[in-house]
């Protein structure tokens, strides 16, 4: 059975309630609609380059885009920790994060 971002991101999250709400909102509004149906093991640097381009076209705030990408990277890093992924594709050299404002 494949693991998906839509089902993998939330379990075991800790932190202040407002932090968890922001994490949930980023995932629900910006990550799951675009990558939620792709099995974790199928997410490639190509997918992430296309996703970052889409974010740049649809999310005006640089800080918001960076927060969304950070949340996605955290989700994928948790999948690495859980041995569902061999490595975090967000760390690929070709995946460029939005420059800080």
Q: Give tens-digit pLDDT for 36-65.
A: 889 989 999 999 999 999 999 999 999 999
Range of the domain at 32: 5-91
Q: Assign residue 31 the CATH number of its domain.
A: 1.10.150.130
Confidence of residue 4 (pLDDT cuts 50, 70, 90): confident
Residue 42, number of CB atoms within 10 A of its CB? 11
Residue 42: inside a domain: yes
Residue that the structure tokens 């995932």 belong to: 27
Residue 62: inside a domain: yes
| Closest of 92, 72, 87, 95 to residue 41, by C-alpha | 87
pLDDT for 21 equals 86
Question: What residues are paired with 39 via a beta bridge?
Answer: 4
Residue 47: inside a domain: yes
Mean pLDDT of 66-91: 92
Number of domains in the chain: 1
Residue 1 has pLDDT above 60, yes or no: no
Q: Which residue has the higher pLDDT, 71 or 3?
A: 71
Residue 98: inside a domain: no
Residue 22: inside a domain: yes
- As to burial, measured by CB atoms within 10 angstroms (0-12 exposed, 13-18 middle, 19+ buried), residue 5 is buried
Number of separate helices (H) and strands (E) present in the chain: 5, 0
Residue 100: inside a domain: no
Q: Give tens-digit pLDDT for 21-31.
A: 888 889 889 99
Instruction: Please tell me the distance from the alpha carbon of residue 35 to that of residue 19, in angstroms, as a whole number.
Output: 22
Residue 101: inside a domain: no
């Amino acid at each position: 059975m494949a693991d998906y971002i839509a089902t993998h991101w939330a379990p075991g999250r800790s932190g202040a309630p407002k932090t968890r709400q922001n994490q949930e909102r980023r995932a629900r509004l910006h990550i799951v609609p675009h990558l939620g149906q792709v099995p974790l093991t199928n997410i490639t640097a190509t997918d992430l380059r296309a996703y970052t381009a889409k974010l740049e076209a649809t999310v005006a705030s640089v800080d918001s885009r960076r927060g969304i990408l950070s949340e996605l990277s955290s989700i994928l890093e948790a999948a690495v920790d859980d041995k569902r992924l061999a490595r975090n594709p967000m760390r690929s050299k070709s995946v460029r994060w939005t420059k800080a404002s």
